[in-house]
Amino acid sequence: MPFQNWQGWLKMMSNPNRLHPITIVLSVLKNVKETIIPIVFYFIVFIVRDDMKDGIQIEGFGPWLQYVPYLILILIFLLMIASGIIKWYRYTYRVEDMELRIEHGLFVKKKRYIPFERIQSLDFSEGIFHRPFGLVKVKVETAGGNSEKSEAEMSAIKKEDALALRRIITESKNREKTSDEIVEEISKQSILYKISPKQLLFFASTSGRVGVVVFAVLGFGSQFDELIPFDKIFKEMEHVAKAGYTIIAILVVMGLLLAWLVSVVMAYLKYNDFTLEKVGDDLVITRGLLEKRTTTIPIKRVQAVTIKESLLRQPFGYASVSVEYAGGSILDENTEGLIIPVAKKKNIGRILQDTLSDYMFDVDFISAPKRAKRRFFLIKMFAAAILTGVLSIWLWPYSLIATLLVGGAWILGLLQFKSAGWNLSETQLALRYRGIDQHTTFMRKNRMQSLGMSANWFQKRADLATIETSVMSGGSADFTVKHLNLEDVREIYEWYRPAK
């Protein structure tokens, strides 16, 4: 039923409202995070230096000069607090004339008026500082907004106020609808998918984020090369290396195992209690344990649907589903558009068919021709062979292990050949392709931004070509399938080309 306290909430929201005072703390923490590297460097240069230990004596100033660096840090911290207080005091939001009006600014006051009809969604997130006070962070996403960031952001408001604001915006959009239409929309609310504990554990264990953890650790360590005694560590590693490559291999395996465990914990916390709901004409995603997030994706703005099968999940028949949608910011935490983290592939069509009724998921694909098979692995095997030869110069005979790269390149090429395929209907193009993981992307003709075909000299000799497509999205959304039959690619191109 319609929002009961419409007039009461509307009256409250029409007055200027400030964010919760916890915003000051969040602002200070953000500033500290952004300046932590310069601060650490400052300590190294001015405080940790040996000549600072005994103090600096300058005639006329006395020994207190040694405390100047500390006083400067305290002054910087006080300025951060003052800046946070001023920002909090000058930030107000209100609802007026069917608009969300926000005024903010540290020294220059800025005004931003966002009409309700432009607001695509209000996305909520609850961090560890929000939950104890019943607060949420709100991101305002608009149709055709800036892809680099959300249209507006309210860092901490009461959850009930955020829900009331969402309801006010929804009610305002529904005022032209009849009560029967509103009741019908509300009746559309349903849970499409909810991750189970076993699925969550399987998803976290096969998330493939080990590389992300390793690079994050290396990047973090590189910022503190003045504090971490890398030279001493490398010297110790030299002694380890002399003990044999077996010990090095064991250490590498242990390091990768630790990185895998960290990645499992990260994925488990991030996607805990992942739930996909259909609310009216929107897909609403909630997830997270320590930080609970809510993301709204309007169904009418879905540009493409991709089913991803990773090497670790495909043998078990599992896949994930993501969507490309217009209007979301590329810096959003859900920038990949993940709507189903893991599910049996055979069940995906049943889960989504009623909600994304414009798409056909159970289709038969036309594969790449057999004459294209060698083109998928020859170049990869040649590159792997060169790498193996280079490694043999320095690491013989241990480099013989690198010959496995040639076999791996051949296997990957065969998998890519088997994956390459396409399907065409009157209104939909489906492409299947593989990098390491297999992707199957479904695109509506009226949502596609471009389609191109290309063929190099070697492809022309074999009557092959490459198809490339793109759709509108908050980030980059390009899809390519190589070495398809030239006549098939021409058929797809003619299907997409506007009639004269």
pLDDT tens by residue, 294-305: 888 888 889 999
Domain that holds residue 470: 275-368+420-496
25 Cβ contact list (under 8 Å, min separation 6): 84, 129
Ramachandran region, residue 244 (left: φ > 0; alpha: ψ -120 to 50; beta: rest): left
Residue 258 falls within a domain, yes or no? yes
355 and 403 share one domain: no
Other CB atoms closer than 10 Å to residue 54's CB: what's the count? 9
Confidence of residue 346 (pLDDT cuts 50, 70, 90): very high
- DSSP classification of residue 5: T
> Is 197 part of any domain?
no
Tokens representing residue 94 in the block? 């209100």
Task: Based on the fold, state whether residues 91 and 176 are members of the same structural domain.
Answer: yes
Q: Given this model, what pLDDT does residue 392 score?
A: 72
pLDDT for the residue numbered 150: 73
Per-residue pLDDT, 348: 93
Identify whether 189 is part of a domain: no
Strands 366-367, 421-424: pairing is antiparallel
Tell whether 92 and 39 lie within a shared domain. Answer: yes
68 vs 47: CA distance, rounded Å: 10
pLDDT: which is higher, 60 or 90: 90
> Which stretches of 273-403 are DSSP H helices?
345-352, 373-395
Residue 214 within a domain: yes
| pLDDT higher than threshold 50 for residue 490 | yes
Most confident of the ranges 236-240, 322-326, 402-406, 415-419: 415-419
Q: Which of 183, 212, 246 is the last residue of a domain?
A: 183
Q: Is residue 193 part of a domain?
A: no
pLDDT tens sequence across 294-343: 888 888 889 999 999 998 899 999 999 999 887 654 444 444 689 999 99
What are the Cα distances from residue 351, in Å, to 287, 334, 343? 19, 20, 10
- Give the model's pLDDT for residue 126: 87
Among 427, 435, 413, smallest CA distance to 481 is for 435
Say which residue, 199 or 398, is predicted with more confidence: 199
How many structural domains are present in the chain? 4
Q: Please state, in angstroms and rounded to a whole number, the distance separating the CA atoms of residues 291 and 338.
A: 17
Q: Do 124 and 67 share a domain, yes or no?
A: yes
Q: Domain check: are 363 and 374 in the same one?
A: no
Residues 336 and 470 in one domain: yes
| 474 lies in the same domain as 332 | yes
Tell me the average pLDDT across 450-461: 91
If asked whether residues 264 and 280 sit together in one domain, one would say: no
pTM value is 0.76
pLDDT for 3: 43
pLDDT of residue 491: 94
pLDDT value at position 227?
45
Whether 360 maps to a domain, the answer reads yes
pLDDT given at position 122: 84
Between CA 151 and CA 141 the distance in angstroms is 6
CATH number where 145 lies: 2.30.29.30
Based on the fold, state whether residues 90 and 219 are members of the same structural domain.
no
Q: Of 391 and 228, which is predicted with more confidence?
A: 391
CA gap 395, 148 in Å, rounded: 46
Tell whether the model's pLDDT for residue 461 goes beyond 80: yes
Position 233 confidence tier, pLDDT thresholds 50, 70, 90: low
Kindly state whether residues 279 and 355 are assigned to the same domain.
yes
> Is 319 inside any structural domain?
yes
Q: In what order do the strands lie in the sheet with 292-298?
A: 152-158, 135-142, 119-126, 292-298, 282-287, 275-279, 190-194
Please give the C-alpha separations between residue 62 and each of 48, 58, 68, 293, in angstroms, as whole numbers.
Answer: 20, 6, 12, 55
| pLDDT (0 to 100) of residue 182 | 47
**Do both 29 and 177 map to the same domain?**
yes
pLDDT reading at 463 higher than 80: yes
Query: Does 110 fall in a domain?
Result: yes
Last-in-domain residue among 183, 211, 232:
183
Q: Which residues pair with 483 in a beta bridge?
A: none
Give yes or no: residues 343 and 453 share one domain.
yes
Q: Average pLDDT, whole number, for the chain?
A: 79
**CA geometry: angle 413, 417, 419, nearest 5 deg:** 115
Q: In whole angstroms, how large is the CA radius of gyration of the chain?
A: 28
Residue at a domain's end among 357, 382, 416: 416
**pLDDT at site 2:** 43
The answer on pLDDT for 1 being more than 50 is: no
Q: Is 142 left (phi over 0), alpha (psi -120 to 50) or beta?
A: beta
Which of 4-13, 173-182, 225-234, 421-430 is least confident? Answer: 225-234
